[in-house]
């Protein structure tokens, strides 16, 4: 089933900040909602659907946000799937609009994580983490992705300099994004000399934690309103290997053919890719699983396509340079891709960007994450 | 105390952490097996971020004889391939103890073992 009749009408980001004062998750959600209304030109009364994702919303839920925002809703959902939550919410919102359950769905994600809140989240992410990883201790997801990185280095014959190139390329994009928290140039020497975090992972392999929010508006397609972005395909596969593999693949590997078939497009047709970048290892895993490396080795792809930025990947700077605002990270790539397709990306605008692929990845279990999804977007003619 | 893992009563696949149903055959009945040894596949150094504890420790990905991968706290730096003895510590963590051999990190707790 295609996605005709529903479009992404608006995309916004509340600028990410490191340790801001006077900010709460609730205030960030309110700011994101206001920005969506401002960007779309819709009055709040026209919003009849709401989807929310946040790690720090408790004890509130999406409906509590609706009450605080004064919304009367025909459709409401909350998503708890972290780095996959953005595309998950989009998947549900598109169908709700297509089926007539709602006309204008605001998708919001935000987090303001204090140091204490981050530590608590890392150790209490789920029961497996709380009971089997936190007592080790395991250093949060850094420890787990150190092992995934080491396995990928062996299998793909990668060296630290290859991961440096991933981070440097994203930093070069970030230098063009006024809202990225890290914009200063990064060199291979900086990367290799960085403070170790969980070797081989160092400081620049890990996302800077920020406070911020992202938002999308999914609306019934309306020929009178331009600048919309259409969804050509969307697929998800969660817990695809039952945590019995090595974490080097994601569920995207098994749905990529269906994704491109539904889109009627091929990886080479993409002008931009925004993949969930909690760690460089997963940037490469998702790009490979989606088929964007073609027949190239991972090492050659990094050197020839990613490092040169001939394939624009994570053009906001990604979470590695723009920052990770908790669950908002699940929307960050979507918002960036839509911004690019609307021609609104400023200095980092990819010329004549018409199509983009965005992927989500998240929800750490015992050794790596469970959730994966991807969407192919196209600028409306 | 050795590490207790699940064994599916139907297909004999082993699991840790425990499941509600077998991920391979969907059976619901499990036996328990004790795992006492494993081999280190990879190792890293973890720096805790707790305000009251700035210590570092070694974290290992270990593989059991039945190819089950476990995460374990390691008592000292070891090389991949080293055999370790597994125990469940009082705090519930899986602890791995290296069996003989020299410390490849030279006892430098702050060094990178990877």
Report percent pLDDT > 90 for chain B: 70
Nearest residue of chain B to residue A143 (CA atoms):
B46
Per-residue model confidence (pLDDT) at position B110: 37
Q: CATH number for the A133-209+227-379 domain, one of 3.20.20.150, 3.40.50.1220, 3.40.47.10, 3.40.640.10?
A: 3.40.47.10
Output phi, psi for A377, to 5 deg: -115, 150
Q: Which ranges in chain A are annotated with CATH 3.40.47.10?
A: 6-115+212-220, 133-209+227-379
Q: Are residues B56 and B108 in the same domain?
A: yes
Per-residue model confidence (pLDDT) at position A317: 98
- B49/A119 CB distance under 8 A: yes
Residue A381, pLDDT > 90, answer: no
Q: Are residues B5 and B48 in the same domain?
A: no
Q: Are A176 and A346 in contact (CB under 8 A)?
A: yes
Count the domains in chain B. 2
CATH number of A6-115+212-220: 3.40.47.10
Q: Are residues B50 and B79 in the same domain?
A: yes
Strand partners, A364: A369
Strands B56-63 and B69-74 turn out to be antiparallel
Q: Are residues B28 and B64 in the same domain?
A: no
pLDDT tier at A380, thresholds 50, 70, 90: confident
Rg of chain A, C-alpha, whole Å: 19
List pLDDT tens digits, range A50-95.
Answer: 999 999 999 999 999 999 999 999 999 999 999 999 999 999 999 9
**Greatest mean pLDDT among A196-210, A226-240, B48-62:** A196-210
ipTM confidence score: 0.92
A143 neighbourhood in chain B, CB within 8 Å:
44, 46, 59, 71
List pLDDT tens digits, range A311-330.
Answer: 999 999 999 999 999 999 99
Average pLDDT over residues B89-103: 85
Per-residue model confidence (pLDDT) at position B112: 33
Q: Are A326 and A113 in contact (CB under 8 A)?
A: yes
Q: Are residues B63 and B22 in the same domain?
A: no
Chain B interface residues (partner A, CB cutoff 8 A): 16-17, 23-24, 41-42, 44-51, 57, 59, 61, 69, 71-73, 89, 91-94, 112-114
Q: How much is the mean pLDDT over chain A?
A: 96
How far is it, in rounded angstroms, from Cα A217 to Cα A73?
14
How far is it, in rounded angstroms, from Cα A145 to Cα A314?
20
Report percent pLDDT > 70 for chain A: 99
Compute the nearest-CA separation of A190 from chain B (Å).
17
Q: Tell me the HSE value of B99 on the side-chain side, using a 13 A CA sphere.
A: 11
Compute the nearest-CA separation of B91 from chain A (Å).
6
Compute the nearest-CA separation of B26 from chain A (Å).
12
CA-closest candidate to residue A191, choices A218, A227, A161, A216: A161
Tokens 């009178």 appear where? A224
C-alpha distances out from residue A121 to A126, A134, B95, Å: 9, 11, 23
Q: Are residues B59 and B25 in the same domain?
A: no
A133 neighbourhood in chain B, CB within 8 Å:
71
Q: Are residues B18 and B45 in the same domain?
A: no
Angle (nearest 5°) at CA B103 between B41 and A150: 30
The helix or strand, by DSSP H or E, that contains position A165, with its residue range, turns out to be helix A160-174
Q: Are residues B66 and B90 in the same domain?
A: yes
Range of the domain at B45: 36-114
Compute the nearest-CA separation of A135 from chain B (Å).
5
Q: Are A237 and A181 in contact (CB under 8 A)?
A: no
List pLDDT tens digits, range A153-211.
Answer: 999 999 999 999 999 999 999 999 999 999 999 999 999 999 999 999 999 999 999 99
pLDDT tier at B99, thresholds 50, 70, 90: confident
Q: Are residues B98 and B110 in the same domain?
A: yes
Q: Are residues B30 and B41 in the same domain?
A: no
B46 neighbourhood in chain A, CB within 8 Å:
136-139, 142-143, 198
- A138/B46 CB distance under 8 A: yes
Q: Are residues B111 and B83 in the same domain?
A: yes
- A136/B94 CB distance under 8 A: yes
How far is it, in rounded angstroms, from Cα A160 to Cα A182?
21
Strands A369-379 and A229-236 turn out to be antiparallel
pLDDT tier at B105, thresholds 50, 70, 90: low
Q: What is the CATH number of the domain that holds B80?
A: 2.40.50.840
How far is it, in rounded angstroms, from Cα B47 to Cα B112?
11
Tokens 């060199």 appear where? A187
Sign of CA dihedral A6, A10, A11, A12: negative
pLDDT tier at A133, thresholds 50, 70, 90: very high
Compute the nearest-CA separation of B23 from chain A (Å).
6
Per-residue model confidence (pLDDT) at position B51: 56
How far is it, in rounded angstroms, from Cα B43 to Cα A277?
23
């Amino acid at each position: 089933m295609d996605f005709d009749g529903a479009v992404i009408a608006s995309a916004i980001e509340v600028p990410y900040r490191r340790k801001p004062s006077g900010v709460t998750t609730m205030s960030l959600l309110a700011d994101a909602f206001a920005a969506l209304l401002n960007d779309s030109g819709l009055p709040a009364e026209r919003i009849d659907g709401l989807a929310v994702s946040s790690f720090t919303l408790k004890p509130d839920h999406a409906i509590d946000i609706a009450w605080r925002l004064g919304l009367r809703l025909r459709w409401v959902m909350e998503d708890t799937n972290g780095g996959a939550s953005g595309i998950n919410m989009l998947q549900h919102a598109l169908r709700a609009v297509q089926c007539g359950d709602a006309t204008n769905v605001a998708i919001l994600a935000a987090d303001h994580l204090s140091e204490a809140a981050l530590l608590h989240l890392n150790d209490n992410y789920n029961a497996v983490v709380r009971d089997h990883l936190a007592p080790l201790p395991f250093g949060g997801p850094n420890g787990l992705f150190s092992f995934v990185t080491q396995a990928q280095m062996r299998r793909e014959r990668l060296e630290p300099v290859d991961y440096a190139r991933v981070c440097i390329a994203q930093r070069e994009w970030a230098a063009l994004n006024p809202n990225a928290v890290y914009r200063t140039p990064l060199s291979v020497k900086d990367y290799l000399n960085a403070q170790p975090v969980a070797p081989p992972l160092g400081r620049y392999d890990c996302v800077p934690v920020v406070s911020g929010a992202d938002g999308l508006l999914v609306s019934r397609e309306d020929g009178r309103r331009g600048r919309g972005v259409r969804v050509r395909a969307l697929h998800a596969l969660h817990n695809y290997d039952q945590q019995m593999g090595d974490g080097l693949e994601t569920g995207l590997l098994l749905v990529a053919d269906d994704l491109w078939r539904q889109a009627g497009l091929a990886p080479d047709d993409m002008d931009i890719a925004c993949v969930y970048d909690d760690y460089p290892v997963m940037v490469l895993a998702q790009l490979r699983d989606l088929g964007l490396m073609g027949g190239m080795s991972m090492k050659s792809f990094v050197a020839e396509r990613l490092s040169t930025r001939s394939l624009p990947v994570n053009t906001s700077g990604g979470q590695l340079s723009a920052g990770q605002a908790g669950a908002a990270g699940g929307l960050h790539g979507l918002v960036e891709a839509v911004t690019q397709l609307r021609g609104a990306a400023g200095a980092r605008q990819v010329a004549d960007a018409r199509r983009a692929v965005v992927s989500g990845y998240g929800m750490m279990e015992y050794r790596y994450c469970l959730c994966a999804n991807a969407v192919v977007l196209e600028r409306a003619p | 105390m050795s590490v207790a893992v699940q064994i599916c009563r139907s297909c004999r696949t082993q699991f840790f952490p425990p499941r509600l149903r077998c991920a391979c055959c969907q059976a619901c009945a499990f036996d328990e097996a004790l795992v006492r040894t494993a081999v280190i596949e990879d190792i890293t150094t973890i720096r805790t971020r707790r305000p009251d504890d700035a210590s570092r420790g070694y974290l290992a990905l270990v593989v059991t004889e039945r190819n089950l991968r476990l995460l374990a706290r390691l008592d000292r730096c070891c090389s991949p391939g080293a055999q370790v003895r597994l125990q469940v510590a009082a705090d519930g963590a899986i602890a791995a103890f290296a069996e003989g051999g020299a410390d490849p990190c030279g006892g430098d707790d702050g060094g990178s073992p990877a």
